[in-house]
């Protein structure tokens, strides 16, 4: 464990959020072992984290065995997350904490799948991780008080403001944000306006730093679809249902910035 840093961190995942968290921990003086599912994914992660000297990328889950805090950060797929969380608990020591970066799934259900809900919490960070200040922290009822204290201390150690939120799909930010984002897509579908026009209205008229369609491209169109489907399954609110254009873009492989095209071309 790095001197002065509260945890020895393992991260299971190699995508944008996983690498963003790894970079934050390393910049704050912590050491990280990041697990990638394949050597190809590992090479991409190493390239993206080239400036983060404290991060080691591995392809064997057992490489996370010495972690005191393991962070699951794979895509929003309930089955895959449950499977990975159970595997992580099997390789971690008894005192290690386990958390998930889910943005839309029930933390209590993922905690149960981990096999040790008393040492589990939700850690919803925002993209781009290094710039965004907020972390939504969510605890299952079984979480022990020392676990809650360690979770808050970790957030403080990486320079984030932690707000404890209820265990509802989407927590606070996504619960409120996605009806707005999806309504922008429906407006585009209905009127034929250009993405630039809709985004300019919200940036210049509401002082938003990004327009809704730019933000969807940053989040990832596939991620937005998964969040919307999870929210809609929970609420049955039509405002949470992903619009047709979202599904079309996913089918076309236009997933936003990460794929080079979404509502915009990059």
Q: Where do we find the tokens 């799909």?
A: 169
- Full 3-state SS string of 190-253: HHCCCHHHHHHHHHHHHCCCCCHHHHHHHHCHHHHHHHHHHHHHHHCCHHHCCCHHHHHHHHCC
Query: Among this protein's residues, is 136 annotated catalytic?
Result: yes
Query: Among this protein's residues, is 108 annotated catalytic?
Result: no
Contact partners, residue 231, CB within 8 Å, separation at least 6:
104, 169, 170, 174, 175, 178, 237, 240
Tell me the two tokens of residue 181.
């984002």
Catalytic, out of 67, 104, 114, 174: 174
Catalytic, out of 7, 67, 124, 225: 124
- Determine the Cα angle at 237 with ends 232 and 243, to 5°: 65
Distances (CA, A) of 120 to 28, 88, 246: 23, 12, 33
Catalytic, out of 7, 72, 76, 136: 136
Catalytic, out of 14, 28, 67, 103: 103
Query: Among this protein's residues, is 189 annotated catalytic?
Result: no
Tell me the two tokens of residue 264.
């915009």
Query: Among this protein's residues, is 28 annotated catalytic?
Result: no
Active site residues: 103, 124, 136, 174
């Amino acid at each position: 464990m790095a001197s002065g840093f509260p945890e020895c961190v393992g991260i299971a995942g190699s995508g944008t959020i996983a690498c963003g968290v790894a970079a934050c921990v390393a910049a704050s003086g912590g050491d990280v072992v990041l697990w990638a599912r394949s050597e190809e994914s590992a090479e991409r992660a190493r390239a993206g984290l080239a400036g983060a000297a404290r991060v080691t990328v591995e392809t064997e889950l057992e490489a996370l065995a010495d972690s005191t805090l393991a962070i699951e950060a794979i895509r929003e797929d309930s089955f895959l997350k449950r499977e990975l969380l159970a595997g992580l608990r099997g390789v971690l020591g008894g005192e290690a904490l386990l958390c998930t970066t889910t943005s839309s799934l029930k933390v209590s259900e993922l905690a149960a799948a981990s096999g040790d809900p008393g040492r589990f919490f939700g850690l919803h960070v925002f993209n781009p991780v290094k710039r965004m200040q907020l972390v939504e922290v969510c605890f299952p009822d079984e979480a022990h008080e020392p676990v809650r204290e360690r979770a808050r201390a970790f957030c403080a150690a990486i320079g984030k403001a932690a707000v404890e939120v209820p265990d509802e799909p989407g927590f606070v930010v996504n619960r409120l944000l996605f009806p707005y984002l999806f309504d922008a897509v429906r407006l585009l579908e209905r009127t034929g306006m250009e993405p630039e026009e809709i985004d300019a209205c919200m940036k210049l008229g509401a002082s938003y730093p990004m327009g809704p369609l730019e933000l969807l491209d940053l989040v990832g169109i596939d991620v937005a679809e998964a969040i919307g489907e999870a929210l809609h399954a929970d609420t049955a609110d039509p405002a949470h249902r992903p619009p047709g254009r979202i599904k079309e873009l996913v089918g076309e492989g236009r997933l936003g910035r990460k794929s080079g095209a979404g509502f915009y071309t990059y």
